[in-house]
Structure 1
Amino acid sequence: MNTRIAAVAMAVLVVAGSVPAAAVATQNGTGTQEASAYSGTHVTFDVQDSAVVDYQVEGETVLDSMKVQSGSSGNAAGVFDGSLDLSALATIEGSALSLNAQTSAAVEIGAEGSASMTAHDNDHGILVVRSGGNGQAVVANVSSNAEASAESDQQVEVTTEDGTKGTFVVVGDGSVTVNENGNVAAKLDGDSRLVFRSYPDEKTETDEQTEEYIASGKAAAEVYVEQQDGELVTDTVTYGQQTSVETKQTAENTVNVTVDRAASEGKVVVTSVSEAAVGATEDISVTVDGEAAAQASSYSELEGAIGSDTSKYMVEQSSSAEASADVYVAINHFSERTVQMQGDGGSDGGDGGDSGSDGSGSSGGSVPGFGVGVALVAVLGAALVALRE
């Protein structure tokens, strides 16, 4: 019996040691979770009680903390009933948070009530707050000595002490501003979202264009395909309701992105693909449902494809250290559409790893099966059986 228990214990250690992005929980004497930490390739942060704290992108702290609270409780209620101006919302109590579903490229942070957050482990460290159908207030304390400025009632720019820039964007009904403490306060109505994006290298005109598409509702989703530890990993951020995305490398230098939307209106899909995924990023061809998409020469021409007879695309070289490109694909109309991006030397056929998003904003990478959490539960269950026997 002792041999069997020792073997099971060793299995627990092996599974625990295989977690690609560490999620560590500390507990007090009663077994209640006090804090959880996430450490990915690009993003690290802690979850402590009701706040996401020390949110870092590429090792730089861009947010000291972020809280979300139902608009029907505490001082957040004043923002929704009109008795308190959003700029006067300096602090909120915050809903209790916990780390939930996790993949190799994203982790969901659950909150009491309908709200939730998703942290995306891509080079922009995208953090999305979803209201979940009910009014939510958000307060984000920017890092020390950072400056925040409101560009509009849907966008706030942040610059950290070392010059790193970040942007808060409201998608849908709601508003965001700089509060009286110089931090960020947002009001989210209905099914709206607050999106935070960081720019560790520099913020380019391409980044500005992506933000405009997100804020205006023209962007259906963003897809990131990059190589991590020798494996291709994908991350998907969805911005529209009832939108799902599946990404698959079907052959060498070829990536397929299948987007399914309930609404038929055309949208833009923004993809960031590494050289490891598509080969030479200077020469990328795009097809939509097997038909060649026309290459647009300007963003206005790209947007003109929405609702037209032909989908179009544009390729912009990325400013990041990794060789990659941003590919904008304006899909003229929707149901389920498949975009294929192929670099120099690509060929059709084959079947590679895939990942998908169910529309919640969380996406999969290279983690197979039910995930590490379920695996640990299964192994611990086996340990209990061994003890019983």
Structure 2
Amino acid sequence: MAVRGKLWEHVFVSGASILHADLDAFYASVEQRDEPSLRNRPVIVGHGVVLAASYEAKACGVRTAMSGAQARWLCPQAMVVEPRMAAYAAASRAVFALFEQVTPLVEGISIDEAFLDVGGLRRISGAPLDIARQLRRRVRDELGLPITVGIAATKFLAKVASAVAKPDGLLVVSPGQELDFLHPLPVERLWGVGPATARKLRAKGMATVGDVAAMPRRTLVSALGRAAGDHLHRLAQGQDARPVQTGRRRRSVGAQCALGQRPRPYDDVDAILATLLDRVGRRLRAGRRVGHTVMVRMRFADFSRATRSSTMSQATDETEYLLATARWLLARSWPMVEEKGLTLIGVAVTNLDDARNVQLALPLECGPARPLDAALDELRGRYGGAAVTRASGLGRSMYESPPQLYE
């Protein structure tokens, strides 16, 4: 494995031109950058639930989404800090500005990682490896953050390469050598293979990517279903034809927050859900987007997860109708919440369309919801998101960490 601060380069031959750039332990790295006393020390972001852990804390077994109590038991010397979402968002914007100075072909996939296509820049900026080295230096020198870069001919292999090279590393996989690199890796390296799928694969004797590649496609489809089986069959062969896409419209808008370990009554969770939907609805309307599907995501005290969704008869951006759907999903899931204990809840609106191209419901059906949304959006835009809040949220200590919007 790579050691933090040590450049790891494993270059087969030149030719790969897709970079996957991934900031290391992003939230924790921002905290260590901004507070010198935290540098080279184990840092945990979040008290009730671990939102991020520095590599010094990860060396003790601390992992993201672990309960704060377990993390502190594993690493009692860790410094635990409150999350600062505004600082992380600002750092992300600065990093993406550097990405876009390197190439116009940037596809962001989260707040701290992106694909960059540098295939057409050889005469201008040099070989992809040289570009990656310069990018890593600039992120380190100008922004004070460690970043790992994987380089390959496909997005999938570039992402795997960066995962293998972490932390603070650089790994290049060249065309013609993909399977030599990919097949010895554990099945968990395949995009989309989580703990449950890994257990299914290992139960059938597939421990490495090479084992999956050697398995007939029909066996994978039988074990995992057609979509997942076909997907893993292609990836295990190193096949991924997706280009780096720029300017994509967001596919979903969501918000989530960690709740900690203490039990929550239904009214508390309902109030939190309403606050999250207020944020999501405002973001939809600002982007002139409407959604067909509402999803409620839950994480439980045993670290299991569940997602419930409902597709509405008509696309909307109105908080009233989005919230009614989300509340229906929560009510149906409440027996599971009571049994397992809820540690995180999120809501997303997906299956989006441009509001200008979709015929919305008649005003007679909508009632006063649209004027109310517009008035609240104007107040929050002028005086801040906390200027107006729901009565159901008053006097409640609702969040273990501030709600996070995501796309």
TM-score scaled by length of structure 2: 0.30
Structure with the bigger RCO (C-alpha within 8 Å, sep 6+) is: 2
More helix by share: 2
More strand by share: 1
